[in-house]
A and B are shown apart, each in its own frame.
Chain A
Amino acid sequence: MLFNSLPFLYGFLPVTYAVFWRLRSRTSRYAWLAVTGYVFYSFWNYKFCALMAFSTLVSYLAGLGFLRWDDRRRRRLCLVVPITLDLALLAFFKYTNFLLDSVRAAAPWLPLPVPAPLDIVLPVGISFYTFHTITYVVDAYRGVIRPTRNLFEFACYVSLFAQLVAGPIVRFRQIESDLDAIDRADRSSHLDRGWSFFAIGLVKKVLIADTIAAVIDPALAHPAELSTAGAWLCMLGYTFQLYFDFSGYSDMAVGLGHLFGLRLPQNFDSPYKAVDIADFWRRWHISLSTFLRDYLYVPLGGNRRRPLITYRNLFVTMLLGGLWHGASWTFVAWGAYHGLLLAAYRAAAPVWDRQPAWLRRAETFVLVVIGWVLFRSTDFGMAATLLARMFAPHGGTAVAGAEVLTVMVAVAGAVALLAPNTFELRHRWSPLPALAMAGLLVLSMLKIYGSGGTPFLYFQF
């Protein structure tokens, strides 16, 4: 089920909301949110609910173990077992065929028989909820959080429908206080903010991202036919599509969290306003980049050792961050590209930072757009074709809908580069902007009716 779908808007959300606020006790609200999370998830594939329940149960038991045991050996066991299981599930479902395909590609040089690809279905959201449970277990091990004894509370945290399938990757400590006070939450105090976030997210996704996608998807299906201008237009379109799609989803998730008294963390902070690549990663998919920083980069040694080790750590972290996005070498290359950029920036920061802010911002933006070529491409051939089209003058066929795309890129660019982001707004609308938002909401709904809800880009990860 999608947030931008009629069954969600007319069925799931009103029922979940109405029942939730009828319930009074903490545990009943936890249980209701956990159950609705599983119902929400089962609309994709109910069979995978068992997988999520297993991951939840293992991490919950590990949490109880941390509460019970103080000796180092047992605590380490409580850390290692759930993380190993989570990563094994993730590896099996997401990376088995990638590994087999890669080995097969190298088969001419290997004297090994390579098994055929397995018929594996990737469970939606597995990359997100396994990370939820990993952060919980690691934080409990580190003593950052006190694990919960309430299974429903933990199940509610893992399977909360608002953030279940595409994040943000919420850490237990970030919503622990709201979960504790869930029975005392004030419905009316969150209502305006919740609906404001939700409506803005819906408009970003449906009116901006989906309209851009309608033009660029057919054009990017034949990259060799694009002219240089067409290739740049399409990649600029994709740059904004990805941002408005994912940040729109995140806004909706945050808004939905508010409707149930839960404050989910910010996931995007105007990333295209970044003045360098490190700044970009402090603003883009914040919940992932901070996860990578706290649970990978820092344990690797971070920047506490000599520069070469720091560069290596940056590179490895981003490489794995790329691989997290998808089981494909183009994602690995995208991660490596950003790892190199971060290392290069770290080495050349004094020089870079001497440039005027507008120039740094423009340069960062172009570097990010080039990275998105790898991210969008289905293989290196497509990436090479697109880059060749962008950087060597080419003629080509006109992009159908180029005028609409140009307007949408201009609008999206203005919003992304000049306007405050959703977290910077006060969400106290005077009548006129409120009416404008109401109009945009209706327009979004009519678009959902007319074209059907399209999945969010980050669902595939």
Chain B
Amino acid sequence: MESALGRGRRRLRVGYVLPRLVLLVFAVDLALRALPVTWLTYRPDEALRARPARGGGFAANRSLHYPRGYGDLAALANLPHRREYRPLRFTTDDLGFRNGSARGPVGAVLFGDSFAYGSGLDDGDTLSVQLGAALGCGVYNAAGAGARHASEILAVTRRIGLRRGLVIMERVERELRTVPDAPAVVAGALMGYDAPLRVRLASVGRRASSVLARAAGRLQREAELATALSPVRILTTRLHKALENEQVLPNSYAHNAVMGTLRNGDWMLFYPDELEADEDDSAPATAYWTSLARELRAHGLELIVLLVPDKHTVYHELLRTPLAPATRPGQRMDRLEHALRAEGVAVVNLRSAFAAAVPALFARGEYLYWRDDTHWNPRGVHLAAAEIARAARAEAGRPLRPLPPCGSSTAGGRR
């Protein structure tokens, strides 16, 4: 029989201690997940996007308040001295979209990504709220869920009971490089080399491979999410970032943002993707939007495509030193705008309106985008809302039908 001393000695052996220690760290990581998520995130949308409601973009029926939220670029590039703190409240409804609990008549619904749902903005400053005021009509914020296809859009409009009205789809300039409706490319390369050597799998094999790929994709997503939401990871990353202050260690996150200096001496951060050259053509994107507009029209919905310029497109002429080779940012938006108009699709290209507003604001040291963020600020949203309202009214009666009278449907009609 093993003596207590023998057992004690065995328990101090590395072969006994170390594997248990690894499991203990794992257990601590799991246990810490019970902590409130606000404690670990710097912005409410970051916290609420992790586990969205089914069909929604965020967790349902939550209201988070961050008194010291700050810009994504300052966070991504680990630049704490560039943070511009602002209070942020983020409220979601029972469908998992960013709408207050009070529901009124809805005449329009807004789709898109972070610009549309209002990343970096307080509840009262989002585009849907500002647009509602400008249109005089309730605007439901359905952004953030990644809806791209008519079926996904119609699923939302059905749930909120909107049978006739406007669908506004926001797309930021840098996202135009990818065609939203591009079919998923089925990987045919068996060994990873070039097309001539590819082997076409039989259809059964393809189906099986597709099921496997979906399962593997889901597993990978879950694993990534589990890692992303790990409190130990978040806390140790913060510690790591604190050490990477260019004094103790170089800042390995710095490449996530590009710092520019404006002519008035103000700094401004840009997302590196904004600086890439603008080369591709707009034909596939035009086909996508045209087809989407046609499908929605068949269901009584009028599409307005909202093209939001990148921050660099708006401010590149005001930079002391250019950050990118001499190109004309915004060309892709202009090409797409003209192509869509030719196809009879309503489009609001904010580039000109922003370009016209910038000089006067710049003279006062005011901006349309947060300096520490890739997104627009309330001033930019306000201007965008005014432009959309103006375009909607101008288009009314031409290809667009008149705006539906507010009160014709309500956002609560689904239930």
A446–B13 Cα distance when bound, in Å, is 22
A380 at the interface (CB under 8 A from B): no
Question: Is the pair B15, A47 in contact by a Cβ cutoff of 8 Å?
Answer: no
Question: Is the pair A47, B191 in contact by a Cβ cutoff of 8 Å?
Answer: yes
Looking at A187-195, A263-271, A371-379, the stretch in contact with chain B turns out to be A187-195
A442 at the interface (CB under 8 A from B): yes
Interface of B is mostly: helix
A358 at the interface (CB under 8 A from B): no
A401–B244 Cα distance when bound, in Å, is 9
Question: Is the pair A431, B15 in contact by a Cβ cutoff of 8 Å?
Answer: no
A304–B205 Cα distance when bound, in Å, is 58
Looking at A6-14, A29-37, A242-250, the stretch in contact with chain B turns out to be A6-14
A391 at the interface (CB under 8 A from B): no
Question: Is the pair A400, B14 in contact by a Cβ cutoff of 8 Å?
Answer: no
A400–B250 Cα distance when bound, in Å, is 5
**Residues 417 to 434 of chain A near chain B (Cβ within 8 Å):** 427, 429, 431, 434
**Residues 179 to 215 of chain B near chain A (Cβ within 8 Å):** 189-194
Contact flags A186-211 to B (C-beta < 8 A → 1, else 0): 00100111111011000000000001
Contact flags B283-311 to A (C-beta < 8 A → 1, else 0): 00000000000000000000000000000
A97–B178 Cα distance when bound, in Å, is 29
For residue B220, give the distance in angstroms from its CB to the closest CB of chain A.
Answer: 10
> Chain A residues with Cβ under 8 A from B23's Cβ?
14
> Which chain B residue has the least Cβ–Cβ distance from A189?
B15
**Residues 200 to 244 of chain B near chain A (Cβ within 8 Å):** 223, 227, 230, 232-233, 236-237, 239-240, 244
A445–B22 Cα distance when bound, in Å, is 8
The number of inter-chain residue pairs (CB within 8 angstroms) is 108
Q: Would A446 and B248 be within 8 Å (CB), given that A7-B223, A441-B18 are in contact? A: no
Q: Would A400 and B22 be within 8 Å (CB), given that A195-B15, A196-B14 are in contact? A: no
Question: Is the pair A447, B190 in contact by a Cβ cutoff of 8 Å?
Answer: no
> Chain A residues with Cβ under 8 A from B26's Cβ?
9-10
> Chain B residues with Cβ under 8 A from A451's Cβ?
237, 240, 252
Contact flags A303-314 to B (C-beta < 8 A → 1, else 0): 000000000000
For residue B29, give the distance in angstroms from its CB to the closest CB of chain A.
Answer: 8
For residue B75, give the distance in angstroms from its CB to the closest CB of chain A.
Answer: 15
For residue B71, give the distance in angstroms from its CB to the closest CB of chain A.
Answer: 22
> Which chain A residue has the least Cβ–Cβ distance from B24?
A442
For residue A440, give the distance in angstroms from its CB to the closest CB of chain B.
Answer: 10
Question: Is the pair B15, A191 in contact by a Cβ cutoff of 8 Å?
Answer: yes
Residue from B14, B189, B191 in contact with A51 in the complex, judged by beta carbons closer than 8 Å: B191
Q: Would A401 and B189 be within 8 Å (CB), given that A199-B14, A431-B12, A438-B18 are in contact? A: no
Question: Is the pair A188, B233 in contact by a Cβ cutoff of 8 Å?
Answer: no
B280 at the interface (CB under 8 A from A): no
B365 at the interface (CB under 8 A from A): no
For residue A200, give the distance in angstroms from its CB to the closest CB of chain B.
Answer: 10
Interface of A is mostly: helix
Question: Is the pair B236, A449 in contact by a Cβ cutoff of 8 Å?
Answer: yes
Question: Is the pair A437, B14 in contact by a Cβ cutoff of 8 Å?
Answer: yes
Question: Is the pair B25, A442 in contact by a Cβ cutoff of 8 Å?
Answer: yes
For residue A38, give the distance in angstroms from its CB to the closest CB of chain B.
Answer: 15
Q: Would A441 and B13 be within 8 Å (CB), given that A45-B192, A215-B249, A404-B248 are in contact? A: no
For residue B324, give the distance in angstroms from its CB to the closest CB of chain A.
Answer: 20
Contact flags B231-267 to A (C-beta < 8 A → 1, else 0): 0110011011000101111111000000000000000
Question: Is the pair A215, B223 in contact by a Cβ cutoff of 8 Å?
Answer: no
B17 at the interface (CB under 8 A from A): yes
> Chain A residues with Cβ under 8 A from B233's Cβ?
449-450
Question: Is the pair A441, B22 in contact by a Cβ cutoff of 8 Å?
Answer: yes
Residue from B21, B232, B250 in contact with A218 in the complex, judged by beta carbons closer than 8 Å: B250
> Chain A residues with Cβ under 8 A from B325's Cβ?
none
> Which chain B residue has the least Cβ–Cβ distance from A437?
B14
A263–B17 Cα distance when bound, in Å, is 22
Looking at A117-125, A166-174, A289-297, A341-349, the stretch in contact with chain B turns out to be A117-125
For residue B311, give the distance in angstroms from its CB to the closest CB of chain A.
Answer: 26
Question: Is the pair A437, B18 in contact by a Cβ cutoff of 8 Å?
Answer: yes
> Chain B residues with Cβ under 8 A from A446's Cβ?
25, 232, 236
A201–B351 Cα distance when bound, in Å, is 55
A48 at the interface (CB under 8 A from B): yes
Question: Is the pair B232, A48 in contact by a Cβ cutoff of 8 Å?
Answer: no
For residue B145, give the distance in angstroms from its CB to the closest CB of chain A.
Answer: 28
B19 at the interface (CB under 8 A from A): yes
A112–B69 Cα distance when bound, in Å, is 62
Q: Would A214 and B250 be within 8 Å (CB), given that A7-B223, A118-B193, A434-B12 are in contact? A: yes
Given known contacts A195-B18, A401-B250, what 17 new A-B pairs fall within 8 Å (CB)?
A9-B26, A10-B22, A47-B189, A47-B191, A47-B192, A188-B15, A191-B16, A211-B249, A215-B249, A400-B246, A438-B18, A441-B21, A446-B25, A449-B230, A449-B236, A449-B237, A450-B236
Q: Which 6 A-B pairs have the closest CB atoms?
A: A191-B15, A450-B236, A450-B240, A192-B15, A121-B192, A400-B250
Residues in chain B within 8 A of chain A (CB atoms)? 12-19, 21-23, 25-26, 29, 189-194, 223, 227, 230, 232-233, 236-237, 239-240, 244, 246-252
- Would you give 21 A-B contacts (Cβ < 8 Å), ordered by A? A47-B189, A51-B191, A118-B193, A118-B194, A120-B192, A120-B193, A121-B192, A191-B16, A194-B15, A195-B14, A195-B15, A214-B244, A400-B246, A401-B249, A403-B248, A429-B13, A434-B14, A438-B21, A441-B21, A450-B236, A451-B252
